[in-house]
Amino acid sequence: MTEQIVEQNVAAEVQGITDRARRASRRMAGANRAWKDKGLRAIAKALLENQERILAANALDLAAGRENGTSKPMLDRLALTGPRIQDLADALENLATLPDPVGNVVRGQTLPNGLRMRQVNVPMGVVAAIYEARPNVTVDIAGLALKSGNAVVLRGGTAAANTNKALLDILRDALDRVGLPADAVQSVDQFGRAGANLIMKARGAVDVLIPRGGRELIQTVVNNSSVPVIETGEGNVHIFIDASAAEEMSVDILLNAKTQRPSVCNTVETLLVHKDATVLPAVLSALAKAGVRLHVDERVQAVLPAGITAEPATDEDWATEYMDLDLAVKMVDTMDEAVKHIRTWSTGHTEAILTNDLANAEKFVAVVDSAAVIVNASTRFTDGGELGLGAEVGISTQKLHARGPMGLTELTTTKWIVQGEGQVRS
């Protein structure tokens, strides 16, 4: 076959997949909460029962990864274990306990002409996800999409192909067993990169596309998709310590925001400190003692407590999401200077102010244009679970549709329902 014919065949096959997803999405939209929860619990049970099969498939991917010289952190993300499979099953059980976003009435009223109008949450339809070699995302995204009444088309990393194939088969069997459509969970992994490219261009066939992974993956999807995308993840997070911030609170929050789980997106990456803040030495000492590597500007270098060492900070430090035990530190003359720094370098995820000055707290909240703005608490609270959303789909750093932590509702759209008895427009 010529290359062109191969391409046409792949396009036809992917269209077949999205067509089946559309049909399955209609059945999912019609399934009530009890039925969907039954499906989630069936998947949880099947994952535990098929643990050996999953681990065997995962062992193949891990062996191939080691052979290809995959880095250790990448191998760690790729690896499934008994406890990790248990976590996936537990997350599905938890999802089954959450309220159904579908059918929620957003607003409604009877209009002057007697028409009854209401705007109701309904499933998106076909959700697609493109992600890197983290097989837990396969189960995670499928569970969230099913609970919100959608069908899902997945494209996982090639490095996790065997694991994802095993998971997909188990998920589809479990759905089928409870009478839900197996085609509500499908994959285009068999078509490699071509499958991802076709999904990105499938506007109309795919209702929303969620990329999950590193910066490069997300930017590729954002720049190449005609399907609407929800951008998630990148967090170059700042904390500003104002002149009036209390010492104990500042130390506690910085330690929590930097060291509790450094590899996640809501961890602090740059500390901005007012020149009159007396708490700086205590904060830097505590961070250094906790093993944090400091990258500081000249003014901070000049006031480092005895025995503490630090690297000089460059623009690259202001731009970097370390996701590790590193922190950039800069001294500013005013809050305006801190805000200006944030405007230049922030990814719009989360910024916090530590202060006892009411006017400054209010101004910071008003002028900082990020998904989450926090006063006197850890940046680690920017999280769907912590903020009471139940499950978390991701943290959106874009402004359209969803911003900040996304729950199940963000995987739905709305429908306007208007009921009358013959009204016409005059």
Which amino acid is it at 26? R
- In whole angstroms, give the CA distance from residue 370 to residue 348: 4
| Residue matched to tokens 């499934």 | 80
**Contact pattern for a copy of itself over residues 202 through 241, marking x by CB under 8 A:** -x---xx-------------xx--x-xxx-----------
Nearer CB in complex with a copy of itself: 161/257: 257
Both tokens of residue 401?
A: 């549709």
* 5, 7, 8, 12: CA torsion to nearest 10: 140
Of 52, 216, 248, 315, the one binding a copy of itself by CB under 8 A: 248
Question: Is residue 63 involved in binding a copy of itself (CB under 8 A)?
Answer: no
The DSSP annotation for 72-88 comes to HHHHHHH---HHHHHHH
Smallest separation (angstroms) from a copy of itself to the CB of 224: 8
- Binders of a copy of itself in range 96-125 (CB under 8 A): 109, 111, 115, 117, 119, 122, 124-125
- In whole angstroms, give the CA distance from residue 129 to residue 53: 24
- In whole angstroms, give the CA distance from residue 260 to residue 67: 33
Residue 276: CB atoms within 10 Å:
10
Question: Is residue 367 involved in binding a copy of itself (CB under 8 A)?
Answer: yes
Q: What's phi and psi for 394, nearest 5 deg? A: 160, 180
Contact segment (CB under 8 A) with a copy of itself among 77-85, 90-98, 284-292, 380-388 equals: 380-388
CA pseudo-torsion sign 10, 14, 20, 24: positive
Nearer CB in complex with a copy of itself: 79/255: 255
Question: Is residue 244 involved in binding a copy of itself (CB under 8 A)?
Answer: no
- In whole angstroms, give the CA distance from residue 287 to residue 229: 38
- Binders of a copy of itself in range 177-206 (CB under 8 A): 203
Contact segment (CB under 8 A) with a copy of itself among 8-16, 85-93, 289-297, 376-384 equals: 376-384
- Binders of a copy of itself in range 255-284 (CB under 8 A): 255-257, 260
- The two beta strands, 293-296 and 326-332, are parallel
Nearer CB in complex with a copy of itself: 153/300: 153
Contact segment (CB under 8 A) with a copy of itself among 174-182, 210-218, 252-260, 321-329 equals: 252-260
- In whole angstroms, give the CA distance from residue 119 to residue 110: 12
Question: Is residue 308 involved in binding a copy of itself (CB under 8 A)?
Answer: no
Give the count of residues interacting with a copy of itself (CB under 8 A): 70
Q: Report how far apart, in Å, the C-alpha atoms of 290 and of each of 124, 209, 332, 358 are.
A: 45, 39, 24, 31
Contacts to a copy of itself by CB under 8 A: 26, 29-30, 109, 111, 115, 117, 119, 122, 124-125, 203, 207-208, 222-223, 226, 228-230, 246, 248-249, 252-253, 255-257, 260, 361, 365-367, 369-378, 380-383, 386-388, 398-401, 403-405, 413-425
